[in-house]
Amino acid sequence: DRHLSRCDTKINVIVHFCDRKDEDDGTEIGEGGDEWMHGKTLIKPPDQLDLTEAELKEEFTRILTANNPHAPQNIVRYSFKERSYKPISSVDQLAVHFFLEGNLLHRDSDEARRQKAKQGLPDEKATVALECDVSFFPQLQAAGGEEAGDVEEGGGEDGAHSVDSKTGKKEQKLTNQFNFSERASQTLNNPLRERGCQTEPPPRASFSATANQWEIYDVYLEEMQKQEKNKEKAKAVPKKEDDKVIYVLAKVAKIIERMVNQNTFDDIAQDFRYFEDASDEFREQEGTLLPLWKFQYDQAKRLSVTALCWNQSYKDLFAVGLGSYDFTKQGRGMLVFYSLKNSTYPEYNYPTTSGILCLDIHPDRPYLVAVGFYDGCVAVYNLKEERPEPVYKSSSKSGKHTDPVWQVRWQKDDMDNHQNFFSVSSDGRVVSWTLVKSELVFTDIIKLSLVGAVSEGPEGVPPPTMACGTSFDFHKQINYLFLVGTEEGKIHKCSKAYSSQFLETYDAHNMAVDAVKWNQFHPKVFISCSSDWTVKIWDHTIRTPVFIFDLNAAVGDVAWSPYSSTVFAAVTADGKVHVFDLGINKYEAICQQPVVAKKKTKLTHIEFNPVYPIIIVGDDRGYVTSLKLSPNLRSKPKEKKGQELPRGPEVEIAKMEKLLSLLREPENSKA
């Protein structure tokens, strides 16, 4: 019964517990206990399995294995040998439930020994001492006898102590357990004081620079210059150095001025460089002149251009001599240099007391300029020097001319390497001036005497014996040969060697010969022009002119072109420029063009630029106009297909020669 009741109660308990599960937490144990005591009917949980008796009695075997239930059972690995996945035969069944890292060391391990060593020897020593004591005691006992034992003991202890001192470790103080007291005392601490001092910081400046290739180069250059200066040991008085900004700006200001001018006259600059008149193809032989820059200087307004000269080394620089041809209007003059790069203001200008009539720039030394004046003086200016006076000037003592000097020309340096030049004047003398140190030394080369029938002057006044030279020109190749044109209209061929005789005289013109010029290529040909409206071309072996051109107005100047032996240009008093090309047209100009605005302006001089296809023309109002030659005026002989065109002076000479031979033939035939 009890059994059953117990079983019942057990079951009841179970049931009740299930009840509690179903209900919420409200029930107290006390109550539960009461319920249990009373006993209740069986209640099944709703999800309990319903099993049959047979099934209930079925036995299930449960095996305990050592396998790890969480270990995977089917790990596969890729086998490269068989090229497929293969299952691993055995899987690790170890399951770690708990892991704790501890800090215990085995006493004999390395780490432990190291620690022991750090902590000190007491542990070891204690053991050693004990060992010693222990070791000695057995010996004592073995030796026998108390005294011996005592001594040995002492020895043993000593031994122990000696071990102590040997190892030298800190030993713990052995304090007396009964009446040990510690005492301490403190000494006076000296008060600490801080002391500092500060100096003035050195002056600092922040510095930055770049180290470039060119900076290094600059420094080297400076060093070199310094060294050179030291070598020279400048004795000269140190120049007054003006710190004014202005001085430094001279160069940059010049550059800027040129740039500004270039901008303003941009179209002219472009024309100068690139414009070629296309319509020349349609005009058969004629050409045109394109006006480019116009040069004028305020202070030279009432003067006329009396001389023009291009600089041979600086092809854009030219010199203008200003003065007056009018006998009554003589006054001051001016020497002005212009550059094509700046047409508004001259590069150099020198005012002179007397009008300039002629000038020449030295071909080798472009800074030397020889000038002839109306009052008969000649002067040499050095452009490199700052002062406005000439470096050399002839005076009445040193043989200056008594009449205006009409032409000057530089010659090659003489044997002493002195520069020298020639001048011709209305007083009939051709004089050679040599620059010796600081003086001009003169030599009369030739005196022009009147040739031909001399009419006696009125009342028996002896006729003037001297002719008035108005122009001259030296032969390009033959050094001693030169031509002189006179006021009487004659041209004399002279030699530097013969001072009294002419080699030849040509009856050239009816009025004064204004210009006479050798051809730049052909050694025999020269050209002359005069106020009698004509321009004549000569062969110096023939006494009569080869060509004569009538230009309908007084011809001021004539010039050969530097690029062709058959091209020349002339300017007339009616403001026109005439350009001739004998190779194209033997009788007429291929270009006749007025170049100045006002018709009353007389053109006085003309010059071809040695390199560029431009000409400059001076007029009697002080203006200089530059003009570009159109292609027709610069024509070269046509190329024959397949043949290379020969260039050079030989060609030009041949061209001219051909022309001349054409003219000579009829003469020969006549003769």
Partner 1 sequence: MCAEVEETLKRIQTHKGVIGTIVVNAEGIPIRTTLDNSTTVQYAGLLHQLTMKARSTVRDIDPQNDLTFLRIRSKKHEIMVAPDKEYMLIVIQNPSE
Phi, then psi, of 199 in degrees rounded to 5: -95, 165
- Smallest separation, CB 250 to partner 1 (Å): 5
Cβ at position 391, least distance to partner 1 in Å: 18
| CB nearer partner 1, residue 59 or residue 242 | 242
Nearer to partner 1, 344 or 505 (CB): 344
**# chain residues binding partner 1, by CB under 8 A:** 31
**Cβ 293 vs Cβ 345: under 8 Å:** no
Distance CA 257, CA 12 (A): 126
Please state the closest distance from residue 457 (CB atom) to partner 1, in A: 54
Please measure the distance between the N-terminal and C-terminal CA atoms of the chain and give it in whole angstroms: 190
Residue 83, Cβ density class (10 Å: 0-12 exposed, 13-18 middle, ≥19 buried): exposed
- Binding residue for partner 1 (CB under 8 A) from 45, 158, 217, 326? 217
Joined tokens for residue 40: 């209740």
CB of 271 to partner 1, least distance (A): 16
107/387 with CB nearer partner 1: 387
Contact track, partner 1, 519-558, x by CB under 8 A = ----------------------------------------
Burial class, 420, CB count within 10 angstroms (exposed 0-12 / middle 13-18 / buried 19+)? buried
Nearer to partner 1, 178 or 274 (CB): 274
Closer residue to partner 1 in complex, CB, 254/409: 254
Binding mask 310-349 for partner 1 (x = CB under 8 A): ----------------------------------xx----
CB of 461: closest distance to partner 1 in angstroms? Answer: 54
Rounded Cα–Cα distance for residues 595 and 625 (Å): 8
Residue closer to partner 1 (CB basis): 258 or 447? 258
| Token pair for 413 | 């340096």
Per-residue contact string for residues 238-277; x = within reach of partner 1 by CB under 8 A = ----x-xxxxxxxxxxxxxx-xxx-xx-x-----------
Closest distance between partner 1 and the C-beta of residue 245, in Å?
Answer: 6
Residue 315's closest CA among 274, 346, 361, 358?
Answer: 361
Residue 334 Cβ vs partner 1, minimum distance, rounded to whole Å: 16
Beta strands, E only, 173-332: 289-295, 304-310, 317-323
Query: Least distance to partner 1 from the beta carbon of 486, Å?
Result: 43
Closest CA to 159 of 145, 189, 139: 139
Residue closer to partner 1 (CB basis): 264 or 499: 264
Is 213 or 669 the residue whose CB approaches partner 1 more closely? 213
Pairing label, strands 317-323, 304-310:
antiparallel
Question: Whose structure tokens read 């030295």?
Answer: 362
- Which DSSP letter does residue 388 get? S
Q: Compute the least distance from the CB of residue 234 to partner 1, in Å.
A: 21
> Would you say 148 and 137 are in contact if contact means Cβ atoms under 8 Å apart?
no
Q: Which is nearer to partner 1, 121 or 292 (CB)?
A: 292
Report in angstroms the alpha-carbon separations of 44 from 14, 18, 20, 47, 48. 10, 9, 13, 8, 7
Min CB(208)–partner 1 separation in Å: 13
| Of 386, 416, 456, 639, the one binding partner 1 by CB under 8 A | 386
Tokens of 615: 């000409």
Restricting to residues 181-210, name those near partner 1 by CB under 8 A: 210
Q: What is the DSSP secondary structure assignment for residue 459, as one 8-state letter? A: G
* Residue 219 binds partner 1, judged by CB under 8 A: no
Q: What share of the chain is helix, strand, coil (3-state, %, to 5)?
A: 25, 25, 45
Query: Which positions lie near partner 1, rule CB under 8 A?
Result: 210, 212-214, 216-218, 242, 244-257, 259-261, 263-264, 266, 344-345, 386
